[in-house]
Amino acid sequence: MVIPVHDVNPVRRTPVVTYALIAANVFVFLFMPGLSGSTAGDSSLAQTCHLHAFLEHYAAVPRELIHHQLPQLVPTGDVRGAGCVLAPPGYEKSPALSVLSAMFLHGGWLHLLGNMLFLLIFGNNVEDRMGHVRFALFYVACGYAASYGFALLNADSTDPLIGASGAIAGVLGAYLVLYPKARVWVLVPFLVFLPLRLPAWLVLGFWFVLQAVYSSGEGVSGAGTVAYAAHVVGFLAGMLLAWPLKPGTPPPPEPRGLLFGRRARPRHTW
């Protein structure tokens, strides 16, 4: 798996929505119950019960999205003996709105930082092309498409679905459509991390193929812990929504210097 670190594709205006989304995701994560102790190596039963109660309330659950079947008993966050206390929910939950709240929840620092890295690198150019308001609506639409697409494929699942991955996959799909020839600096783990500058179509195309393979359960153990199918659906949704903007999108600047280990041919202007 390659790790993107920077793209050679400047923007014309400040990507305020991208920055706001990153800030919101980090802020929500810092105040998620039960995670502060787990990051320090402390995973007490009380913290686990509190986290389960929080996710039951705010995470998206496929069975709730498709069948609108809310559970009769949910964790309260309290502990009794060696388990969590269950009771009828003391709140009203809207499955549709839970998709929006789930887009700002993450299961750990690696989950959060990986998502925010991809959003920071590729989101700014997509926002620059779409404009602030349209990009915000696009981001939410891709998140909903990814969540409901995953739920349709796992209609009876009661596992909570959290993370911005589906929406960010839509951003990656849009970037591939709009800027396939843009150059992206990546780190390739080969004995050491080898820096390479590769075209976006190769980086993002490889990422999509991996998600598609993993969503089928091939090539990865424990695939059920990651909603790879949501990534696939979100990516395709982003491509479709961005396609009408492709004809009017200016090409990225031609990079100078080393390219694939050789020097790019100079271009003369008149």
2-26 residue pLDDT tens: 899 999 999 999 999 999 999 999 9
57-102 residue pLDDT tens: 999 999 999 999 888 889 888 888 788 899 999 889 999 999 999 9
Specify the pLDDT at position 256.
Answer: 65
Specify the pLDDT at position 64.
Answer: 95
**At 176, phi and psi to the nearest 5?**
-60, -40
Cα distance between residue 226 and residue 217, in whole Å: 11
Enumerate residue ranges in the chain where pLDDT < 50: 36-42, 219-223, 258, 260-270
Specify the pLDDT at position 261.
Answer: 42
Token digits of residue 265 = 């041919």
pTM score of the predicted model: 0.88
Specify the pLDDT at position 221.
Answer: 43
Q: What is the DSSP letter of 251?
A: P
Helices (H), 72-199: 95-102, 109-130, 132-153, 165-178
Specify the pLDDT at position 69.
Answer: 86
Q: So where are the chain's domains? A: 3-32+94-249
Give 3-32+94-249's CATH code, choosing from 3.40.50.720, 2.60.120.10, 1.20.1540.10, 3.40.50.2020. 1.20.1540.10
In terms of Cα–Cα distance, which of 132, 143, 138 is closest to 167? Answer: 143
Specify the pLDDT at position 62.
Answer: 96
